[in-house]
Amino acid sequence: MLELLPPPPTDPLWDLTYEYGCDERAERLNLVLGVYRDHTGRTPVMAAVRQAEIRLAERSESKEYRGLSGNAAFNRALLTMVLGPGGGAERAAAVQTVAGSGALRLLADLICRTRPGTTVWISDPAYVNHRPILEAAGLRVRTYGWCDPDGGFDSAGVLRELGRARRDDVVLLQGCCHNPTGADPSAEDWAALAELAVRDGWVPFVDLAYHGLGDGLEADLAPTRLLAARVPEMLVAVSCSKNFGLYSDRTGCAVVLGASDRSVRHAETALQNAARTLYSMPPEHGAAVVTAILEDEDLRTLWRAELDVMRGRIEANRGELTARLDALGHGTAARALARQRGMFSMLPLTSREMLRLRREHAIYGTTSGRINIAGLPADRVPCLARGIAAVLGSR
């Protein structure tokens, strides 16, 4: 049987990570994977997480199954955080998932079970796993442009292209800190997108993975809450990997909002059935940690403070990089980077130029030009700026 398997494509991000691991140059710099690193280059365990884990270890009495929906307290806490008090949680249901990617797949399966062959619109460029997840679930994928020629959010273009979406199509939107571009809609743009969804009858599918790392937790959640208040139906995939630092604990949540209690309960059961066939039940540890933090005022306050520090370091990295590029004579590139938000930035470099950056300067980013600003040690910003400037200057 295995001899009949054709050579499958490999994952480009993990291929680059492997190549980085084989690179023996001391100055090598890994900006590929989307993980937060502190000023020393470490991915730390947040203090709030560590304290929650200690408390859980002290009172842990059982490892019994939680059920197909996972940790019910976690689901309630995530609903309250994402939608806000009085934000529509009464017409929503949540199912714990295997991280944000698991939530994307579970919701994609729900779409396919509801309407096989549904068209889902994703941005171009998009998070690298969006298309594979959606197509693996049996959905049709179409794209709409995201950025203008200067690397900012193309408001007019997005509204124009999404004007072609039909009733009952699904439009995947990243709730904040767009991956890979870092280009986000304004509040006015989000209001226009909500109006378009209501007018044309398409369903928003929000991928929420970086809330708290852009403009602050409440500001980053505002677009999702705006959509929830205006549209009759919505899907939300929530990740706890980035803002809780629970990367390897694979903690996430799939949320459905509907117009009636009956439709929401049916969707919840469908999600449970899909989970049963994919992985049965999600892991408990990360969900218990998040619940402990969100339900305890002291831990919640500590977590919010740590999240603010992380966001501040990301902003400082981006600010210093743009200032150094400007000083090196590349003001246009600097201005584009300055407008971006969140963990990632999109460099104005072609795939060939990203290869040069890697081979000549030992700086690893994706071939699309994406780099992980959140993974950049503070003392390496000058090196990164010089490498980018050298590649730009040789055009």
* Residues 97/246, Cβ–Cβ less than 8 Å: no
Give the span between the Cα atoms of 24 and 362, in whole angstroms: 10
For the chain, the three-class secondary structure string (H helix, E strand, C coil) is CHHHCCCCCCCHHHHHHHHHHHCCCCCCEECCCCCCCCCCCCCCCCHHHHHHHHHHHHHCCCCCCCCCCCCHHHHHHHHHHHHCCCCCHHHEEEEEEEHHHHHHHHHHHHHHHHCCCCEEEEEECCCCCHHHHHHHCCCEEEEEECECCCCCECHHHHHHHHCCCCCCCEEEEECCCCCCCCCCCCHHHHHHHHHHHHHHCCEEEEEECCCCCCCCHHHHHHHHHHHHHHCCCEEEEEECCCCCCCHHHCEEEEEEECCCHHHHHHHHHHHHHHHHHHCCCCCCHHHHHHHHHHHCHHHHHHHHHHHHHHHHHHHHHHHHHHHHHHHCCCHHHHHHHHCCCCCEEECCCCHHHHHHHHHHHCEECCCCCEEEHHHCCHHHHHHHHHHHHHHHHCC
> What is the per-residue pLDDT for 87?
72
What average pLDDT score do residues 7-15 get?
Answer: 87
pTM, entire model:
0.95
pLDDT for 101-117, tens place per residue?
Answer: 999 999 999 999 999 99
> What is the per-residue pLDDT for 78?
96
pLDDT for 334-354, tens place per residue?
Answer: 999 999 999 999 999 999 999
> What is the per-residue pLDDT for 89?
78
pLDDT for 14-63, tens place per residue?
Answer: 999 999 999 999 999 999 999 999 988 889 999 999 999 999 999 988 88
- 11-44+312-393 and 49-295 share one CATH topology? no
* Residues 53/228, Cβ–Cβ less than 8 Å: no
Q: Looking at the predicted structure, is the pLDDT value of residue 143 above 80?
A: yes
> What is the per-residue pLDDT for 378?
87
The residues pairing with 48 across neighbouring beta strands, listed in sequence order, are none
CATH topology for 49-295? Answer: Aspartate Aminotransferase; domain 2 (3.40.640)
Q: Which two tokens stand for residue 346?
A: 């999109």
| Angle at 173 (CA atoms; ends 157, 215), nearest 5 degrees | 95
> What is the per-residue pLDDT for 2?
86
Domain ranges of the chain: 11-44+312-393, 49-295
What average pLDDT score do residues 144-165 get?
Answer: 95
Percent of the chain with pLDDT over 90: 89
User: To the nearest 10°, the Cα dihedral for 16, 21, 25, 26?
Assistant: 120
Q: Looking at the predicted structure, is the pLDDT value of residue 173 above 90?
A: yes
* Residues 213/174, Cβ–Cβ less than 8 Å: no
Q: Which two tokens stand for residue 88?
A: 């529509």
> What is the per-residue pLDDT for 10?
85
Q: Mean pLDDT score of the chain, rounded to an integer?
A: 95
pLDDT band, residue 79 (cuts 50/70/90): very high
pLDDT band, residue 188 (cuts 50/70/90): very high
Backbone angles phi, psi at 253, to 5 degrees: -155, 135
* Residues 99/252, Cβ–Cβ less than 8 Å: yes
Backbone angles phi, psi at 235, to 5 degrees: -120, 140
Q: Looking at the predicted structure, is the pLDDT value of residue 313 above 90?
A: yes
CATH topology for 11-44+312-393? Answer: Aspartate Aminotransferase, domain 1 (3.90.1150)
pLDDT band, residue 330 (cuts 50/70/90): very high
What average pLDDT score do residues 325-340 get?
Answer: 93
